[in-house]
Amino acid sequence: EQQHQHDTPISRFQNYLRINTAHPNPNYTAPVSFLTAIAQTLNLQIQTLHFTPSKSKPLLLLTWPGSHPSLPSLLLNSHLDSVPAESHKWAHPPFSAHRTADGRIFARGAQDDKCIAIQYLEAIRTLKAADFAPIRPVHLSFVPDEEIGGLDGVAKFAASEEFRDLNVGFMLDEGQANPGDEFRVFYADRTPWNLIVKAKGAPGHGSRLYDNGAMENLMKSVEVMTRFRAAQFDVVKAGKAALSEVISVNPVYLKSGIASGDGFAMNVQPSEAEAGFDIRIPPTVDPELVRKRIAEEWAPEARNLTYQLIEKGPTRDFRGRPLATPTDDSNPWWSVFKQAIASAGGKLAKPEILASTTDARFMRQQGIPTLGFSPMTNTPILLHDHNEFLKDTVFLKGIKVYESVISALSSFVEISE
């Protein structure tokens, strides 16, 4: 039966997955054309925005107008790009969107996050077919470069006049799968920092023992950071916090040595050494304390160390508050969202902080309440992994969930006290 249906929610999902938008050279033209064509069939308003002079990083913005255009709107966000895939390590090619007999659809982006892009649109298709009309405007943004930090995507969009004109009251962005049967929801991300520590020291013969070599200076630094890492991890291991609630510090590269031929001069102690770290800061931590720790303990000048700290996005909103969206009755959007999940027959897990990072931080910076949500239950967490897949039944159930969520969020009118 399925084989005879060439234009279904599943086939549209598969066709979207077949567009290779993996870094380092994501094709942004093809997905924008593909989604534009769908938007035309749904009679949505269509805009393509550019925030780079070369116009190579389009942002597609769709609008379903509301009957009360002056009310704050709902924004549904997803990113166009994906991380690279090592094809030869996959059971099915990562841009084939191959569907197995048991319904698993394999593709890079199946979970992260092309599912939600098509689910938003399919939910709108169903709602329109049922003559549902939103009170608030509903906007959909399909953005470039999330996987590389979003600086030419959401960061510029969130700061733009076009964005201000949307008068966004609430945003939904991507979340993460759950192997269990509850829907996960995320009220904050951790902020990513890159730290590069550089050591200098006296060079010398490989046989000599002396103080203050570059390697020794760097390794002391690595030791101190490793101890901090272990202490944070112990808190998690003791069950006192989730992984996403502590600071993570992970070394990602080490660089030193005097090149010689195909290898290194083994009897020369080098005069320079360098290490790179991925650091993630939860919203509960004062970032200033981490900056201080880096300067005083991890890379002190006194040990001949210098460092470069690249903070990839904000840690506080424009009022100086942590980037976290309230998930209690103080946030009317939360209550409506929660109720809509229940109406769709779903169970909601306890709201979490996301261990990684999404575009949501730039919206929270603007003070816009934003939840991370990808309706994937009974699904292994495969984002950025080999053999990323999503089951057809899970994908279709997600459309139903969004029908409930989009209709509820776009039609509630806040009762002011």
* Active centre residues (catalytic): 81, 146
Pick what 359 binds: ligand FME, Zn ion, none; C-beta below 5 to 8 Å, kind-dependent.
none
C-beta of 232 vs 271, nearer to ligand FME: 232
Pick what 257 binds: ligand FME, Zn ion, none; C-beta below 5 to 8 Å, kind-dependent.
none
Omega within 30 of 0 (cis) for the link into 84: no
What distance in Å separates the CA atoms of residue 290 and residue 1, rounded to the nearest whole number? 58
Q: Which stretch binds Zn ion (CB under 5 A): 40-48, 108-116, 221-229, 398-406?
A: 108-116
Residue 89 CB, shortest distance to ligand FME, in Å, is 19
Residue 70 CB, shortest distance to ligand FME, in Å, is 34
**216 marked ligand binding residue:** no
113 binds Zn ion (CB under 5 A): yes
Pick what 204 binds: Zn ion, ligand FME, none; C-beta below 5 to 8 Å, kind-dependent.
none
- Give helix 114-129 / helix 392-411 axis angle, nearest 10°: 60
C-beta of 145 vs 174, nearer to Zn ion: 174
Phi and psi at 228, nearest 5°, equal: -60, -45
Question: Which residues is 23 bridged to in the sheet?
Answer: none
**288 marked ligand binding residue:** no
Structure tokens given for 125: 């298709």
Closest CA to 184 of 356, 376, 397: 376
Pick what 113 binds: ligand FME, Zn ion, none; C-beta below 5 to 8 Å, kind-dependent.
Zn ion
C-beta of 112 vs 403, nearer to Zn ion: 112
C-beta of 371 vs 406, nearer to ligand FME: 371
Residue 147 CB, shortest distance to ligand FME, in Å, is 6
The two beta strands, 138-143 and 73-79, are parallel
Residue 83 CB, shortest distance to ligand FME, in Å, is 7
Chain positions contacting ligand FME, by CB under 6 A:
147, 149, 192, 312, 356-357
C-beta of 272 vs 385, nearer to ligand FME: 385
Closest CA to 117 of 150, 81, 82, 142: 142
**174 marked ligand binding residue:** yes
Alpha carbon of 82 to those of 19, 20, 388: distances in Å?
Answer: 10, 8, 12
Question: Which residues is 273 bridged to in the sheet?
Answer: 199, 256
Pick what 387 binds: Zn ion, ligand FME, none; C-beta below 5 to 8 Å, kind-dependent.
none
User: DSSP of 217-275, one letter per residue?
Assistant: HHHHHHHHHHHHHHHHHHHHHTTSS-GGGS-EEEEEEEEE--EETTEE-TTEE-SEEEE
What distance in Å separates the CA atoms of residue 209 and residue 212, rounded to the nearest whole number? 10
Q: Is the dihedral of CA 138, 144, 146, 150 positive or negative?
A: negative
At a CB cut-off of 8 Å and minimum separation 6, what does 40 contact? Answer: 46
Residue 362 CB, shortest distance to ligand FME, in Å, is 11
**50 marked ligand binding residue:** no
Q: Which stretch binds Zn ion (CB under 5 A): 21-29, 109-117, 333-341, 342-350?
A: 109-117
**384 marked ligand binding residue:** yes
User: DSSP of 135-176, one letter per residue?
Assistant: SS-EEEEEES-GGGTSTTTHHHHHTSHHHHHH-EEEEEE---
Residue 16 CB, shortest distance to Zn ion, in Å, is 14
C-beta of 174 vs 392, nearer to ligand FME: 174
- Please list every residue from 156 through 185 that binds Zn ion, using CB under 5 A: 174
- Please list every residue from 37 through 96 that binds Zn ion, using CB under 5 A: none
Pick what 357 binds: Zn ion, ligand FME, none; C-beta below 5 to 8 Å, kind-dependent.
ligand FME
Task: Name the binding residues.
Answer: 79, 112, 147, 174, 384
Task: Name the binding residues for Zn(2+).
Answer: 79, 112, 147, 174, 384
Binding site for Zn ion (CB under 5 A): 112-113, 174
